[in-house]
Amino acid sequence: IVESSGDLLNPEEVLTPTALKRWQAAKQSDVPVQIRSAKEVTDPSSRPAKTTCTWKFKLDNARDFAWTASRSFVWEMESFN
């Protein structure tokens, strides 16, 4: 699982079907949505099944960029303007 500055451009390629459905709901929500819960961290099916994934992000007009990756991320997301 990769977290990064910017917008994830290819969620269909890097998320599981369950995570993708939650991610799409979170993009429209003004309250936090669990994309990946603490209980799912130990479940291999909560991570992409591919051996390698290329996560693509886009960030405009920024001075800094950061990214991090881990198999044990708990992920919560909500939309904001």
Q: Using the predicted structure, report yes or no on whether residue 50 has a pLDDT greater than 90.
A: no
Alpha-carbon distance 40 to 49, whole Å?
Answer: 14
Q: Using the predicted structure, report yes or no on whether residue 40 has a pLDDT greater than 90.
A: yes
pLDDT of residue 71: 87
Q: Using the predicted structure, report yes or no on whether residue 73 has a pLDDT greater than 80.
A: yes
Residue 54: which domain range? 2-77
Instruction: Kindly state the percentage of the chain with pLDDT values over 90.
Output: 74
Buried b (16+ CB within 10 A) or exposed e, 54-63: ebeeeeeeee
Rounded mean pLDDT, 1-6: 90
Give the chain's domain count.
1
Alpha-carbon distance 23 to 12, whole Å?
Answer: 10
- Supply the pTM of this predicted model: 0.84
Q: Using the predicted structure, report yes or no on whether residue 24 has a pLDDT greater than 90.
A: yes
> CA dihedral defined by 25, 45, 40, 3, rounded to 10 degrees?
-60
